[in-house]
Structure 1
């Protein structure tokens, strides 16, 4: 499975949201698995969108055919767009599916990892972080993805922001020490996204 993560700063919120609804046109596209997104809870006017595809060939075919027509509805409503593709590697918890209807927030963590530490980082995600996140109240499901250049994405879906807030800083610090995260990671960025139901496809 392929995951596309898009982040941008919205300059015309109303126009952007109207355009976002046009992405319902993705339904029926070969290989399309689902899309959802919403607003950053910490950065004003920053939007995140997550799209899932069966494989890279299906995604490439869509980009070559229908993408520009759907995207035209949002032209001029945002700036500073960044889009990245990640290959799904494994579940966080079990049975990941790109469904957004039962989630309130998505936590996204994007890591650039020192090349010689990439396999260790992935192993620690599986052995240390995954069990801790899976045991957290309100955590529904998540996935771990990888991009060329030793970049990794962890997406986790939560029933509510309050539940995600129980994943406390001191606990995260303890897990980081155990996983040797500081030795693995060259740069880390993250956000908590308040999902907008009308953006779900």
Structure 2
């Protein structure tokens, strides 16, 4: 599975949201599995969108044929766009499905990892971080993906920001020390995204 993460700095919120609704045409695209997104809780002018494809072949075909026509509806509504693609490596909690209807917030964490620490980082994610998140009330499901250049994405879906806050308050510092994350990671960025139901495809 291929995970696409889009981050936009929006200058015309109403126009952007109107254009976002055009993506309802996506379900007919071969290999498309789901799409959702919303607004950053920290930066009100930042939008995050997450799209899932069966594989790179289907995604490339869509980009070559249909993407530009759909994207044109949002032209001029944002000043900056960053797009990253990640290959699925494993679930965060079991049974990941790319659906957003039962989630209220998504936590996205993007890490750039030292080359000689990549396997350690992935192992700690699988054996320490994942069980801690999976055992936290309100955490629904998530996905761990990898991109060339030793970049990783952890996407976790939560029933509410309050539930996610409980996990954060009790666990982050302790788990960071246990997994030696400072030795693994060169750069770490993250955000909490308030999902917009009208963006879900």
Task: Tell me if both proteins adopt one fold, taking TM over 0.5 as the criterion.
Answer: yes
SS at match of 1:137: coil
CA-based RMSD of the aligned residues comes to 0.6
Secondary structure, counterpart of 1:171 in structure 2: helix
Task: Name the CA distance, whole Å, in 2 between partners of 1:168 and 1:155.
Answer: 15
Q: Which residue does the alignment assign to 1:130?
A: 130
Q: Any gaps of 5 or more consecutive residues in structure 1?
A: none
SS at match of 2:142: strand
The match for 1:29 is: 29
Tell me, what secondary structure is at the counterpart of 1:112?
A: strand
SS in 1 for 2:128: helix
TM-score under structure 2 length normalisation:
0.99
Residue of structure 1 in register with 2:166 after alignment: 166
Partner Cα distance (1:9, 1:112) in 2: 22
Distance 1:140 1:170, change over 3 A: closer
* Cα distance in 1, alignment partners of residues 47 and 168 from structure 2: 25
Whole-angstrom distance in 1 between the partners of 2:168 and 2:53: 33
Distance 1:167 1:55 in 2: 32
Moved over 6 A (4+): none
CA separation in 2, counterparts of 1:170 and 1:31?
39
Give the match for residue 90 of structure 1. Answer: 90
1:19 maps to 19
Q: How does the TM-score come out when normalised to structure 1?
A: 0.99
Question: What count of residue pairs does the alignment treat as equivalent?
Answer: 201
Aligned counterpart, 2:6: 6
Q: Which residue of 1 aligns with 2:77?
A: 77
The CA deviation at 1:170 is 4.8
